[in-house]
Amino acid sequence: MAGSGGSKLGAFQYTKCKMDDYYAPGRNHLFVPGPVNIPEQVLRAMNRNNEDYRSPAIPAMTKVLLEDVKKIFKTITGTPFLIPTTGTGAWESALTNTLSPGDRIVSFLIGQFSLLWIDQMQRLNFNVDVIESDWGAGANLEVLGSKLAADTGHTIKAICIVHNETATGVTNNLAAVRKLLDHYQHPALFLVDGVSSICALDFRMDEWGVDVALTGSQKALSLPTGMGIVCASPKALEASKTSKSVKVFFDWKDYLKFYKMGTFWPYTPSIQLLYGLRTALDLLFEEGLDNVIERHSRLAKATRLAVEAWGLKNCTQKEEWFSDTVTAVVVPSYIDSSEIVRRGWKRYNLSLGLGLNKVAGKVFRIGHLGNLNELQLLGCLAGVEMILKDVGYPVKLGSGVAAACAFLQNTIPMIPSRI
């Protein structure tokens, strides 16, 4: 029996070893641009049993959550929807509730995620007018201006844009898009993917006249994946009344019906994610949303300084497009960037982002968003330096860390409660 049991255990250990590939002591260092690290407070808040979502407690919490969620979009007039889905589902919700099949959409192709959203638009039978830029460049607003100027019959029903393209580390200027729409007095809806920007970058839904904005729980909110948050302007809600797109699970009308009833949920929500969202918002508001945005700006600048010290280039072509949530780093042609990512995970328990599609093998990505501090980032940068050395790049160890340290040392704000 003993021998038999030992044999089975050995087989199990071998299988587990093959599945996990190796054992790495310590914790995984997660520096992809989402999903991100989850704060301990959020983990504790979600560590609870299921509850009856029809009880008085869940609707009461949901009502307050909906009001507080509006703050991260910086909207007074918007109506939020907390949908048990991913950012992809939030995309579909934004499109199908406001548009009808055949409607003309102008959308920008600047990287993998804008490409995927465009693919969804086309599969939903919208007429997509694509404005394409080099990967590493921002949205071509000159072309948009020309299209708006020529569209005197207002055949364009929506402008769709990814605020922050994580594949290339590019952030687009939403205020400039709104300025063009206003200049040409064009009534097109303004739909924005803020999946990797909201709660990390400056976002002003009301001021910029955004009609539908959306984000995902696994990004700057620092929650698990599974909640798509969509916020609709009064104009978007009005458009939803005449939309002819087929929708069931994502239908805003069902949500609005239950909002009026005071029960809020047309189907079962994730109770644990609701409690997690409550705590995540509390943490953001305690730090101060403007301070959160500034923290992301500091960490991003430190990362870019490290990349520069290593002698490498940013995939983003102009400073005006630099993202404060992810940096895409271009590697020399003799290095396969996927090997950097593989080695980081296998040897150092460090998770970095792969290059995607057109930049596969050419870039690796450092995510610096969510509930993250300076020392965590410096640990990541030190790990990247060791990986670069491993793959044969002549990096001077400590150069990037020193550059980031020098910048952060002079910019970290003093927190009175910790002095």
Binding residues: 365
Paired sense of beta strands 104-109 and 156-162, if any: parallel
**Cβ–Cβ contacts within 10 Å for residue 242, how many?**
9
Let me know if 363 is exposed, middle or buried by CB neighbors in 10 A (0-12, 13-18, 19+).
buried
Give the DSSP H/E element, type plus range, for residue 329.
strand 326-330
Give the DSSP H/E element, type plus range, for residue 328.
strand 326-330
Candidates 136, 128, 146; CA nearest to 166 is 136
Residue list for the binding site for substrate: 365
- Assess contact for 174 and 56: CB atoms under 8 A: no
Residue type, 311: G
Measured between alpha carbons, how far is 345 from 32 in angstroms, rounded to an integer?
11
Measured between alpha carbons, how far is 215 from 231 in angstroms, rounded to an integer?
9
In 115-246, the DSSP E strands lie at 127-132, 156-162, 164-165, 170-171, 189-193, 212-216, 228-232
**Paired residues of 132 in beta bridges:** 109
The single residue listed with the structure tokens 């192709």 is: 109
Measured between alpha carbons, how far is 279 from 293 in angstroms, rounded to an integer?
18
